[in-house]
């Protein structure tokens, strides 16, 4: 019988498996054990699972940020190289032409008109469905190869650089958490706005989760500024 929150547990499983190198082994084991407990308990609530995913995201945030930086610096070229190696000659030549013409596999869209939003991306226009499937499969293999290469770097030759990045990301996370706590304390100022402020805190804290968009520090600063202004106006009224 399928677990009622099977898809969410698949996400948790993926997040545990992809925890970056140097993440605390005991905490890795703890989250793996929680996953097994949830799978064995069909009555496990979505809220309980979500909280564990958020906890995992929060504890691993600095490591994921640092690893992402290392991958961007050292892994993208390897990924591209491995991808080309795993394409047959015909598709490889067409893909190289696509890149030469300015195309990108991970095509990032800018804000577009309604007409443009319904139009296919350059990648979709350039390749046939069969070619897109071949490239997608080759990309998955290439990313596995590149990840193994970067894992070796961050635990070997580039370990010092990786550890320094983790340290700076931990410091940044602590600064963000102080701002979140400052927002939380504002909830005690006014019963009228208490629930609204606490709801905003909950949404922002979900940004630590691997399921939600990341915590946006600039947006958090604006949130603090907004509530300071709102509460000052309320108290002065």
What is the model's pLDDT at position 107? 45
Q: Are residues 122 and 144 in the same domain?
A: yes
Instruction: Provide the domain limits for residue 145.
Output: 75-154
Q: Report the alpha-carbon distance of residue 98 to residue 110 in Å, rounded.
A: 19
Total tally of structural domains belonging to the chain: 2
Q: Are residues 68 and 182 in the same domain?
A: yes
Q: Is residue 48 part of a domain?
A: yes
Q: Is residue 1 part of a domain?
A: no
Q: Report the alpha-carbon distance of residue 166 to residue 23 in Å, rounded.
A: 10
Q: Are residues 121 and 107 in the same domain?
A: yes
Q: Are residues 19 and 30 in the same domain?
A: yes
Q: Are residues 43 and 91 in the same domain?
A: no
Residue with the larger pLDDT of the pair 98 and 109 = 98
Is 161 in a helix, a strand, or coil?
A: helix
Q: Are residues 144 and 35 in the same domain?
A: no
Confidence of residue 234 (pLDDT cuts 50, 70, 90): confident
Domain finish residue from 138, 154, 170: 154
pTM of the shown model = 0.80
Instruction: Of 72, 70, 77, give the one whose Cα is nearest residue 157.
Output: 70
Q: Are residues 191 and 229 in the same domain?
A: yes
Range 8-27 burial, b when 16+ CB lie within 10 A, else e = bbebbbebbeebbbebeeee
Q: Report the alpha-carbon distance of residue 87 to residue 137 in Å, rounded.
A: 9
Q: Is residue 102 part of a domain?
A: yes
Confidence of residue 176 (pLDDT cuts 50, 70, 90): very high
Q: Are residues 208 and 231 in the same domain?
A: yes
Domain finish residue from 154, 172, 204: 154
Q: Are residues 193 and 128 in the same domain?
A: no
Q: Are residues 108 and 61 in the same domain?
A: no
Is 119 in a helix, a strand, or coil?
A: coil
Q: Are residues 36 and 85 in the same domain?
A: no
Q: Kindly state the percentage of the chain with pLDDT values over 70.
A: 92
Domain finish residue from 154, 182, 206: 154
What is the model's pLDDT at position 106? 55
pLDDT at 132 over 60: yes
Instruction: Of 7, 116, 20, give the one whose Cα is nearest residue 66.
Output: 20
Q: Are residues 28 and 137 in the same domain?
A: no
């Amino acid at each position: 019988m399928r677990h009622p929150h099977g898809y969410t547990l698949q996400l948790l499983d993926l997040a545990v498996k992809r925890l970056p190198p140097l993440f605390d082994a005991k905490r890795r084991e703890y989250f793996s054990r929680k996953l097994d407990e949830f799978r064995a308990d069909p009555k496990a609530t979505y809220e309980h699972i979500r909280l564990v995913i958020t906890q995992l995201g929060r504890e691993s945030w600095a490591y994921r940020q640092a690893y992402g930086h290392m991958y961007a610096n050292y892994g993208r070229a390897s990924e591209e190289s491995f991808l080309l190696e795993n394409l047959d000659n015909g598709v490889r030549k067409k893909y190289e032409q696509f890149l030469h013409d300015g195309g990108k596999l991970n095509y990032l869209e800018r804000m577009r008109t309604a007409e443009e939003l319904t139009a296919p991306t350059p990648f979709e226009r350039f390749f046939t469905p069969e070619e897109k499937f071949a490239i997608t499969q080759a990309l998955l293999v290439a990313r596995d190869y590149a990840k193994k290469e970067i894992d070796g770097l961050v635990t070997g030759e580039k370990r010092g650089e990786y550890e320094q990045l983790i340290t700076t990301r931990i410091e940044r996370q602590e600064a963000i958490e102080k701002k979140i706590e400052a927002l939380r304390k504002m909830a005690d100022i006014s019963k009228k706005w208490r629930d609204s402020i606490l709801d905003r805190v909950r949404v922002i804290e979900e940004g630590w989760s691997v399921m939600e968009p990341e915590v946006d520090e600039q947006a958090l600063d604006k949130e603090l500024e907004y509530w300071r202004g709102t509460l000052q106006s309320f108290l002065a009224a």
